[in-house]
A and B are shown apart, each in its own frame.
Chain A
Amino acid sequence: MAATQPLLNRRLITDWLGIAPFAIFAVMFLIAPTVYLVSGAFVDPNGNLTLQNLIDLFQPNILAAYVISIKISAASAIGGAIIGFALAAAISLGGLPSWVRSAVLTFCGVASNFAGVPLAFAFLATLGRLGLLTIVLRDVFGFNLYGAGFNLLSFLGLTLTYMYFQIPLMVLIITPALDGLKREWSEAASVLGATSWQYWRMVVIPILWPSVFGTLLLLFANAFGAVATAVALTGSSLNIVPIVLFAQIRGDVLHNPNLGYAVAFGMVVITGISNFIYIWLRMRAERWQK
């Protein structure tokens, strides 16, 4: 017994040595920076504990930034989820030729990664004041888009732009779930007398809702954290959270570093909650996929 004890310890030490590089990396470049900001959100410039920073988040301009950010993220997530689901259902259950399916999936892989600055350029070239669609609508259809109140640098414009990566993401995540619906389930339902609406209501929707709702939350968090597209599209003209935070990091526009931490903390809270619910729902959905 006495002889085996040190051996065991040595094994334990090598075990932990093996994981040490990763642990150090994670602490230094992921956990510590986050913890630093989060804790900074709860102290004042003199280092005293306070909730003032969090309360200050509710001042009109910051609150407005959060509200518009949440609105854009929610709208692009919901729009992306609905259209993405329709597209995924079409390629998975619609009986289309298989080349359509693989073409759509490959394109979605590209488009879901086509975010950031280039995406902003593409939409400026499409729906900007001199964009192709704007000009075609004006010259061919006699419809003045901007005269009708549209602006790419607005809620609607940004939502439309974000959907360019939201829809593909939805398609990529939800198609496997739709593929997991067995043909026998629909056959069993119909032979038991169910209409296809009853089958969807009693079987498909209960099976899919955790995946769909979970993916919706993932899309929401995805849009909420998107900085580059917003910055490149709007410069600093639109007051949304990532842009406020970007400006704050650049030059302390809030004149209070700790308030800046609180803004970051608020972002983490919002994306964090949506991601945790996403992961939880995903585990729930996978329970049935055995």
Chain B
Amino acid sequence: MTAKKFWSWLAVFVAAFYFIVPLLATLEFSMRMRRGTYSFDAYRSVFADDRFASTFSYSVVMALITIVVGALLIVPTAYWVRLRMPYLRPVVEFVTLLPLVVPAIVIIFGYLRLYNSSSWLPLTNTDMGANALLVFGFMTMSLPYMYRAVDTAMRTIDVAVLTEAAESLGASWPTILFRCIFPNVLTGVLSGAFITFAIAVGEFTMPSLLNRPAFGPYLALIGANKAYEPPALAMIAFAMTWVSIILINITTRLQKGAAGAR
């Protein structure tokens, strides 16, 4: 018993060392900007840069659009498949898992070939088109997580019974979908949304290859040209990831609480 505990503590301490040292080092490095003393100059410099605010807000907006469009696509689909076409479930599940198989860089490579300026649908010609392409790319990347989260939430509420109950009370289809189904799978949508957010805001490959003024490419650019700002940005990114994970944990706990109360 004590031997088991000893090894367990050892494993935790070794892991803690490996995980905490880079964070401390990053923090330390980010505060070295002013010679001879520690300061938050690097953070000041980061926040003073206009491009920080503009690229970050661009990425946030793109992420939010992705979440809304993604939820509008996936919730009705998952609902429809559960209710009307259960025989399609294996196929839909397979498709939603595909983005794990096809790396993001390959997907975006395909977009650039299919929707370039000389193609039948030249989306890359305009800013709006390229933005749309980016949103679709983010949606594709988040598909496995979003679909799973929503589908799991639907399993716990038994959509068929809920739909029949609503129909028997005379509800129309839009009412059923937006007043009955959406609120009940909201926690699933939310936990999917936070993962999407975490993926989309920091994503480098897609916006970089689409030449979008996003946060990921900006980070890489700073990394190539500055010394003390990159670790400051890394700390900021780490803090943001931490916040999204805590939000995910809270929503899943709410979901479990709701399921437990049933």
Residue ranges of A at the interface with B (Cβ–Cβ < 8 Å): 15, 18-19, 21-22, 25-26, 28-34, 36-37, 40, 83, 86-87, 89-91, 93-96, 100, 104, 106-107, 109-111, 113-126, 130-133, 163-164, 167, 221, 224-225, 227-228, 231-232, 235, 242, 245-246, 249-250, 260, 264, 267-268, 271-272, 275-276, 279
Considering the chains assembled together, what is the distance between the CA atoms of A11 and B219 in angstroms? 51
By a CB distance below 8 angstroms, the chain A residues around B5 are 94-96
A130 to B249 alpha-carbon distance, docked (Å): 36
Q: Most chain-B Cβ atoms within 10 A of its Cβ — which of A87, A121, A132?
A: A121
A13–B4 Cα distance when bound, in Å, is 61
Query: What are 25 pairs between A and B in contact, CB < 8 Å?
Result: A15-B84, A19-B81, A19-B88, A29-B111, A83-B15, A87-B11, A90-B11, A106-B245, A106-B246, A113-B198, A114-B237, A121-B26, A121-B234, A122-B238, A124-B230, A126-B25, A132-B24, A221-B100, A225-B105, A232-B219, A242-B105, A245-B105, A260-B109, A272-B101, A275-B97
> Does B68 sit within 8 A of A, measured CB to CB?
no
A175 to B63, CA, bound (A): 30
With contacts A19-B92, A29-B137, A93-B8 known, what are 6 further pairs, Cβ within 8 A? A29-B139, A36-B114, A89-B11, A106-B249, A125-B25, A275-B97
On chain A, the residues within 8 Å of B18 by CB distance are: 83, 163-164, 167
Q: B22 at interface (Cβ–Cβ under 8 A)?
A: yes
The 6 residue pairs across chains A and B that have the minimum distance between CB atoms? A33-B110, A94-B8, A225-B103, A132-B25, A125-B29, A228-B204
Q: Number of contacting residues on B, CB 8 A?
A: 81
Say yes or no: A117-B202 contact (C-beta < 8 A), given A32-B110, A227-B103, A271-B103.
Answer: yes
Q: Within the assembled complex, what's the spacing in Å between the Cα atoms of A52 and B4?
A: 57
- Determine whether B9 belongs to the interface, using a CB cutoff of 8 Å to chain A: yes
A196 to chain B, nearest CB (A): 9
Which residues in B have their C-beta under 8 angstroms from that of A260? 109
Given known A87-B11, A232-B223, contact A32–B114 (CB-CB < 8 A): yes
For window 15-42 of chain B, which residues contact chain A by CB distance below 8 Å? 15, 18-19, 21-26, 28-30
Flag the segment in B54-62, B72-80, B158-166 that touches A: B72-80
- Verify A131–B140 contact, CB threshold 8 A: no
B113 lies within 8 A of A40 (CB) = yes
Per-residue CB contact flags for chain B residues 118-142 toward chain A (1 = under 8 Å, else 0) read 0000000000000000001101100
The residue among B8, B9, B92 with the most chain A CB atoms within 10 A of its own CB is B8
Q: Is B169 in the interface zone, CB < 8 Å from A?
A: no
The answer to whether A33 and B9 touch (CB under 8 A), given A114-B237, A122-B234, is no
CA distance in complex: A122, B30 (Å) = 10
Contact B22 A126 (CB under 8 A): yes
Point out the residues of chain B lying under 8 angstroms from A87, CB to CB. Answer: 11-12, 15
Alpha-carbon separation in the docked complex, A116 to B15 (Å): 21
A-B contact count (CB 8 A): 249
CA distance A231 to B205 in the complex (A): 9
User: Are the CB atoms of B233 and A268 closer together than 8 Å?
Assistant: no
Contacts A22-B92, A118-B219, A242-B105; A95 near B209 (Cβ below 8 A): no
Q: Which residues of A contact B241 (CB under 8 A)?
A: 110, 113-114
Distance between Cα atoms of A18 and B231 in the complex (Å)? 48
Kindly list chain A residues whose C-beta atoms are within 8 Å of the C-beta of B258. none
Given the known A-B contacts A21-B77, A37-B110, are A104 and B103 also in contact in the complex, defined by CB atoms under 8 Å? no
- Which residues of the partner chain B approach A100 to less than 8 Å between Cβ atoms? 12
Given the known inter-chain contacts A34-B107, A125-B234, A132-B24, please indicate yes or no for A268 contacting B29, CB distance below 8 A. Answer: no
- Determine if A110 and B242 form an interchain contact, defined as CB atoms under 8 angstroms apart: yes
For the complex, what is the distance from the CA of A187 to the CA of B83, rounded to whole Å? 44
Please determine whether B204 and A121 come into contact, CB atoms closer than 8 angstroms: no
Assess whether B19 is in contact with A111, with CB atoms less than 8 Å apart.
Answer: yes
Name, among A22, A89, A164, A167, the residue most crowded by chain B CB atoms within 10 Å (CB to CB): A22
